[in-house]
């Protein structure tokens, strides 16, 4: 299977750890292992998965989000990462070197880390449908490189930052929280 470029084994009844030999398929770009019963952690060997551009491991029983993101950030061609319905009761890592796109439906908890504003490689697009609490740090206004920021359906409260790109994010990015502010579309109540 040296020339294999796509592998879709979603919605099977596979159990046990994720296969650690997948990175040996040097042409493999798309891997969908969603909706299985894999458990444990993402293997260290995935650091060498340089051909990978799409990975879906949603709805498994994976744990150790911090380790998973540390490993997967080495996949230099990875553009789509779907980890939904994993990492129960884990907290969003507070690591300034992480780069990730989407962490939706993961039951992540804790306040949004203040140091996200210093993560120059970070592309946080979707933190919706978690249990993030507290306020949206005003320091995030300095994230001028974000094309999308979504914290809908968490446990956030207080003022939505009004500077930087926050004026460009749709109201749907903030719904399902107890937020207020003066965004361009007058859906939000004033604080």
Q: Are 179 and 189 in contact (CB under 8 A)?
A: no
Q: Which residues pair with 45 in a beta bridge?
A: none
Instruction: Write out the DSSP string of 2-24.
Output: TT--EEE--SS--EESPPTTGGG
Residue keyed to tokens 């750890």: 17
pTM of the model: 0.67
For residue 125, what pLDDT is reported?
A: 66
For residue 53, what pLDDT is reported?
A: 87
For residue 5, what pLDDT is reported?
A: 96
For residue 176, what pLDDT is reported?
A: 93
Task: Report the alpha-carbon distance of residue 41 to residue 59 in Å, rounded.
Answer: 14
For residue 35, what pLDDT is reported?
A: 92
Task: Report the alpha-carbon distance of residue 187 to residue 176 in Å, rounded.
Answer: 12
For residue 123, what pLDDT is reported?
A: 57
Task: Report the alpha-carbon distance of residue 131 to residue 33 in Å, rounded.
Answer: 25
For residue 185, what pLDDT is reported?
A: 47
Task: Report the alpha-carbon distance of residue 110 to residue 165 in Å, rounded.
Answer: 23
Structure tokens at 65: 């989000």
For residue 76, what pLDDT is reported?
A: 80
Mean pLDDT split into 10-residue runs, the chain, 191 residues? 90 95 95 93 95 89 86 82 78 64 61 69 68 89 78 92 84 91 57 66
């Amino acid at each position: 299977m040296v020339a294999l470029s796509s592998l879709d084994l979603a919605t099977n009844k596979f159990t046990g750890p994720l296969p650690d030999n997948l990175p040996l398929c040097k042409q493999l770009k798309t891997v969908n292992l969603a909706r299985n019963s894999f458990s444990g952690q993402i293997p260290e060997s995935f650091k060498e998965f340089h051909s990978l551009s799409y990975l879906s491991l949603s709805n498994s029983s994976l744990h150790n989000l911090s380790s998973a993101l540390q490993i997967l950030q080495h996949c230099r061609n990875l553009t789509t990462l779907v980890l939904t319905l994993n990492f129960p009761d884990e907290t969003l890592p507070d690591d300034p070197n992480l780069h990730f796109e989407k962490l939706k439906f993961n039951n992540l908890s804790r306040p949004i880390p203040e140091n996200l504003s210093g993560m120059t490689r970070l592309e946080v697009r979707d933190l919706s449908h978690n249990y993030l609490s507290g306020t949206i740090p005003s320091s995030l206004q300095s994230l001028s490189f974000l094309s999308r920021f979504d914290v809908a359906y968490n446990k956030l409260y207080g003022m939505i930052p009004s500077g930087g790109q926050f004026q460009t994010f749709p109201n749907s990015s903030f719904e399902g929280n107890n937020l207020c502010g003066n965004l361009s579309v007058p859906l939000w109540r004033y604080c």
